């Protein structure tokens, strides 16, 4: 019988591997999976006397990811998946996972940009996004390819990147 820490690692791994596969295959992360992860996170942590830890991890993930969804820079499934991860691991571990996911995502994005020969276009888009944000305008309103929902955009399967970040974290043996 696995101890609580091993069980938590298994739940996180099962959640993110399933989400990553779905995201690569179907370009979406199902609501049932995210909801199951959120419920599991709260239930598991409540059983360990750490309900506040689950709420803090869940809240931190929403605080960071929800604005990205509002700006059309990320899909709602990515937001819900990170909220589920936060509910499972708590705020400190979630923040480390967030940093690992960001680094891995940056590397994968750079490889995609170079592979599609869009480096110059991407630099222009970044400058445009910064300019629009400085003027408090959502960048996707004037640039359709800056909307993650547009077929014109170069989209990264962020659920798969979240899975890689979580698995790197788990592989480092850093979970609680």
Number of H helices, E strands in the chain: 7, 0
Domain range list for the chain = 4-118+154-171
Tokens standing for 162? 């979240």
pLDDT in tens, the chain (176 residues): 679 999 999 999 999 999 999 999 999 999 999 999 999 999 999 999 999 999 999 999 999 999 989 888 888 999 999 999 999 999 999 999 999 999 999 999 899 889 888 888 878 877 777 787 787 877 777 766 666 666 766 678 899 999 999 999 999 875 44
Whether 51 and 42 have beta carbons less than 8 Å apart is answered as yes
The whole-angstrom separation of Cα 39 and Cα 164 is 22
The whole-angstrom separation of Cα 149 and Cα 108 is 19
- DSSP output for 61-72: HHHHHHHHHHTT
pTM of the shown model = 0.87
Q: What is the pLDDT of residue 126?
A: 76
The whole-angstrom separation of Cα 170 and Cα 12 is 9
The whole-angstrom separation of Cα 175 and Cα 120 is 39
Q: What is the pLDDT of residue 155?
A: 73
Whether 172 and 115 have beta carbons less than 8 Å apart is answered as no
CB atoms within 10 A of CB 89: 29
* Helix spans in 90-157 (H): 91-115, 119-134
CA angle 26, 65, 47 (to 5 degrees): 90
Q: For residue 112, report the phi and psi dihedrals to the nearest 5 degrees.
A: -65, -45
């Amino acid at each position: 019988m696995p101890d609580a820490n091993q069980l938590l690692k298994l739940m996180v791994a099962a959640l993110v591997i399933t989400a990553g596969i779905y995201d690569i295959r179907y370009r979406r992360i199902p609501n049932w999976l995210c909801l199951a992860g959120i419920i599991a996170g709260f239930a598991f942590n409540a059983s360990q006397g750490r309900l506040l830890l689950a709420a803090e991890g869940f809240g931190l993930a929403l605080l960071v990811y929800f604005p990205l969804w509002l700006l059309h820079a990320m899909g709602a499934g990515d937001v819900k998946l990170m909220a589920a991860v936060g509910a499972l691991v708590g705020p400190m571990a979630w923040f480390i996972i967030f940093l690992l996911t960001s680094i891995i995502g940056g590397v994968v994005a750079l490889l995609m940009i170079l592979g599609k020969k869009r480096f110059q276009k991407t630099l222009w888009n970044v400058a445009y996004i910064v300019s629009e944000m400085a003027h408090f305008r959502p960048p996707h309103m004037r640039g359709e390819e800056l909307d993650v929902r547009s077929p014109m955009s170069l989209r990264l399967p962020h659920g798969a990147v979240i899975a890689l970040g979580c698995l790197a974290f788990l592989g480092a043996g850093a979970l609680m």
